Structure 1
Amino acid sequence: MGNMKQTPCAPYSLDAFFDEMFGGSQSVRPHYESVYSRFSGMGDTELAAKQKSMERRMMEEGITFTLYKPEQMYPLERTIPFDLIPRVISSDEWAYLEKGLEQRVKALNRFVHDVYHDQNIVRDGIVPRRMIVANCYFRPEMVRVQVPGNAYITTSGIDLIRDVSGEYYVLEDNLRSPSGFSYLFKGRTIMNELFPELSLTNSIRDVDHSLNRFLTTLRSLSPSGKSEPVIALLTPGEYNSAYYEHAFLAQQMGIHLVEGRDLVAMNHKIYMRSLTGLKQIDVLYRRIDDDFLDPLAFDPNSLLGVAGIMNAYRAGNLAIANAPGTGVSDDKAMYIYVPDMIRYYLGEEPILKNVPTYLLSRPEEREYVLGRLPEMVVKETSLSGGYGMLIGPTATDEEIAAFKQQILQYPDRYIAQPTVQLSRAPIMQQGKMQPRHIDLRAFVLMGADESIHVIPGGLTRVAMREGSLIVNSSQGGGCKDTWVLA
């Protein structure tokens, strides 16, 4: 990495991992120098005070996440563990990631359109038909529906990791209703308040303007053509684990926060009850799953959506972000085909690579994986949030045996990947820098006619337990601010 500065004392052993802050012989990477000197020069008292201020701010603002555990009678609400040392990404590195993310989301969006229209990719033998029709997120109700601006994937969270050589890979595409935006924006605000001198000495790409881009993106989808379309965020309500985020985004973008009971369908249009009567909604940014969106079209027992939303949508009187049925491309088995989608729809080679992945419905791949379960990560294709996973290297013999039975019984439900040793970055613990594994959830916004904005930085998620590879907040993971240098 060029001219690196030797550290006065090695903070921790680098082992056989790629470290974001430290290079070979424990020298500080150039783009981390000011951050390293600031944190290594802090005394215990100052560190403890900063940590306390940050935790107090998070509590006061209610920046929380709700954990649901089967053994607990009541859900547990807690603040997200937030680490003070930012992750820093150089401008060149970010330019490469941005290009790769734009390319990937564009191809995925075209794939969803194709799935619900001509299915050319199936006819040309690239993706097997059964992978689509047997997919639990495929919605026959969306076939031939004209989607405003052809934007199916308005918001996406693409999870990126780095291997031992520092190369980036896409681990997962979250395309239905990705969460984590609020932690990105609030994390930056808190860091600017706690370390104004670092924000001033480093030229960091601003993230706040991305809230305006978010609003512009939603506006661009409006089918009404009004200069000021009415936009609402549909939330399942205050008991949802990400409710803080729903309220935060609605407030920051100046859009309405609504629940299903606030909406009414009339004449193939959706209205919101307000103090002055009914107000027609043009764009609905929904944070509830397809199943609950419309009891007439999907789950008849749903109390979260509103009967008639799909009729209004099909009639062209409402835009829904993300479009219903987008999950067909979000399935972990479909991930295997994304590089082929990029070649097929865009005629380009993929910029960002996939992690090598085995489809366990294929007999020869299944056999290979079953012989190597202790070194594999196995995932259930339709689950997210770190659920339904086997991490071979840390699993017990009993867990491996149980997973083996599940795979043999339901091979279609699983994919497997070699265990990637995620890169590490330092966190502050007991006044010392300690290494933890991280990933990066990059957020991509897509408006009408494939206008794309990648939020600079995204959310760095941290496996807070030493040695753990699980970064999901639902499994005890934390996060840190991500700086992209201008």
Structure 2
Amino acid sequence: MDNLISNSNLINEQLARYGVKFGIYKNGVFNERLFPYDPIPRVISASDWEYLKTGLVQRVTALNMFLADIYSKKQIVADGVVPEDFVFSSSGYLAQVEGLEPPHSVYSHISGIDLVQAKDGDWFILEDNLRIPSGASYPLIARSLERKCSPQTFVDNHVVDNRSYGTMLKDVMDDMNCGGINVVFTPGRYNAAYFEHAYLAEQTGSVLCQPEDLFVENNVVYCKTLNGKERVGAIYRRISDEYLDPLSFLPESLIGIPGVMSAYRAGNVALLNAPGNGAADDKGIYYFVPKMISYYLGQDAILKNAPTYLPFYEEDRKYVLDNLEKLVIKDVAEAGGYGVVFGRDLDSGKLDEMKQLVKSQPRRWIAQEVIDFKDLEIMDEGRKVERKADLRAFVLTGKTCQVWASGLTRFSRNPASFVVNSSQGGGFKDTWILDK
């Protein structure tokens, strides 16, 4: 590990040379910056990983069953497990995909599940990201550079090889493919995660396509090539639902594929992830995931949610209003660390404002107990310091559901902050899963 620490500047220089950056829009201006790498890995034991892996497969399986249900029979709503108003008022719910069953009934092919480990060792799920979760490329390329600097490190420490991600993702695309080539669909280089789009296209042997490269004829998607047009069978799309097809969603979208939803509905192309997944990763729906696991699988949830309150319910609302100063409040429609408010950081005036918002828009918010999650060591100007860190685990679902033996560990560079998101200035480190 000392070799990695001594070579961390070199690795960061290589990451910059490869264009491993994260783009941020702020005040209407796009800025690219290096996604800072830290050389001290997060280490997860083989036994801890087996526990996490089992719980993650259980959770994503139930979430896929929930999506299949609410876009067809809606049995979970009819049985009163999840309130009807809660499901269909979600900004992520899309009436346009009602009754549309994707290949093999899989909705979330690439799930990014965010976890934290409390100081007592317990793991908690913070969020389920089922739309277009990003981040797998960063530990992949970091590990490849680490291995060049110090190959013996990984032999001596019995670290599970993480190079399988590209193969796993390709297998999922092949499983879903409706006949044709696989493509990774990017809106272009000004997207925050453009580096990842290009990198994963290379890793999976897919064609990297921008909006002008794809078109639809007779409900079939084609890619423009030097040799004419080639049929597309699976699209790993890295573009939000609302921009995907101007004929079905936002008509002003210039970065979508006109008619792609008709091709999808006709069964001629697979979309990974499926449109409409936002109905399951709404932060309010998160509250109900343990109930989904019990309802669909007849099992207790292996991985715990953070203790969560829904102001939508009167009893929870009263608790939140009485205890706001010690809770964290989240806007259910926000992502990337935005819309997160720690009650302890608010003065009396701001607390009153927040209480009024919770009272007037109870569906908009969830509240959670603040988990004092584990600090991990990072290098800061040549010395070791501790900072808050989370883990994004990647669960890939094709004909089978598998967890990638790695993950994106993000950390806060601010010693006072619990927010670790890349868009909020955090960095990342490699995640070592130890072999048995």
The residue that corresponds to 1:18 in the other structure is: none
Deviation per CA, 1:152-171: give whole Å up to 9, x if none.
00001000111231100111
The residue that corresponds to 1:176 in the other structure is: 131
CA distance in 2: counterparts of 1:405 and 1:236, whole angstroms: 39
The residue that corresponds to 1:218 in the other structure is: 173
Aligned partner of 2:336: which letter? Answer: G
The residue that corresponds to 1:296 in the other structure is: 247
What is the aligned-residue RMSD (CA, Å)? 1.4
Deviation per CA, 1:40-79: give whole Å up to 9, x if none.
xxxxxx95x5232012101110100012222xx6322111
CA distance in 1: counterparts of 2:171 and 2:348, whole angstroms: 52
- How far has the Cα of 1:251 moved from its partner? 1.4
CA distance in 2: counterparts of 1:163 and 1:277, whole angstroms: 55
- How far has the Cα of 1:258 moved from its partner? 0.9
Deviation per CA, 1:448-477: give whole Å up to 9, x if none.
3xx012111211110111131010000011
- How far has the Cα of 1:267 moved from its partner? 0.5
8 Å contact kept, 1:462–1:478: yes
CA distance in 1: counterparts of 2:206 and 2:358, whole angstroms: 45
1:305 partnered with 2:256: yes
1:442 partnered with 2:393: yes
1:93 partnered with 2:93: no
The residue that corresponds to 2:119 in the other structure is: 164
- How far has the Cα of 1:262 moved from its partner? 1.3
CA distance in 1: counterparts of 2:96 and 2:31, whole angstroms: 37
State the SS of the aligned residue for 1:252.
helix
* Residue pairs, 1:74-223, within 5 angstroms: 74-223=29-178
The residue that corresponds to 1:23 in the other structure is: none
Out of 259-268 and 308-317, give the one that drifted further.
259-268
8 Å contact kept, 2:86–2:363: no
CA distance in 1: counterparts of 2:187 and 2:349, whole angstroms: 38
The residue that corresponds to 1:481 in the other structure is: 430
8 Å contact kept, 1:137–1:327: yes
1:458 partnered with 2:407: yes
Alignment partner of 1:59 out of 5, 8, 16:
16
State the SS of the aligned residue for 2:161.
coil
Aligned partner of 2:375: which letter? Answer: R
CA distance in 2: counterparts of 1:444 and 1:303, whole angstroms: 31
Seq. identity, %: 41
State the SS of the aligned residue for 2:7.
helix
State the SS of the aligned residue for 1:417.
strand
8 Å contact kept, 2:235–2:269: yes
8 Å contact kept, 2:113–2:393: yes
- How far has the Cα of 1:377 moved from its partner? 0.6
CA distance in 1: counterparts of 2:9 and 2:294, whole angstroms: 50
* Residue pairs, 1:213-292, within 5 angstroms: 213-224=168-179, 229-292=180-243
The residue that corresponds to 2:310 in the other structure is: 359
Out of 122-131 and 424-433, give the one that drifted further.
424-433
- How far has the Cα of 1:348 moved from its partner? 1.0
TM-score by length of 1: 0.87
The residue that corresponds to 2:26 in the other structure is: 69
- How far has the Cα of 1:398 moved from its partner? 4.5
CA distance in 2: counterparts of 1:412 and 1:157, whole angstroms: 24
Deviation per CA, 1:228-279: give whole Å up to 9, x if none.
x401111111111111110111112110111222111110111111111111
Residues 1:398 and 1:199: Cα distance change in structure 2 (over 3 Å):
farther
CA distance in 1: counterparts of 2:106 and 2:29, whole angstroms: 39
The residue that corresponds to 1:382 in the other structure is: 333
8 Å contact kept, 1:191–1:481: no
The residue that corresponds to 1:31 in the other structure is: none
* Residue pairs, 1:399-410, within 5 angstroms: 399-410=350-361
CA distance in 2: counterparts of 1:219 and 1:434, whole angstroms: 44
CA distance in 2: counterparts of 1:377 and 1:288, whole angstroms: 29
1:350 partnered with 2:305: no
State the SS of the aligned residue for 2:372.
coil
Deviation per CA, 1:186-235: give whole Å up to 9, x if none.
121122223323212011111112211110111000123xxxx4011111
- How far has the Cα of 1:177 moved from its partner? 0.5
- How far has the Cα of 1:325 moved from its partner? 0.6
Deviation per CA, 1:124-176: give whole Å up to 9, x if none.
11111111211111111212212111110000100011123110011110000
CA distance in 2: counterparts of 1:149 and 1:140, whole angstroms: 20
Larger radius of gyration: 1
Aligned partner of 2:314: which letter? Answer: P
Aligned partner of 2:113: which letter? Answer: I
Aligned partner of 2:10: which letter? Answer: S
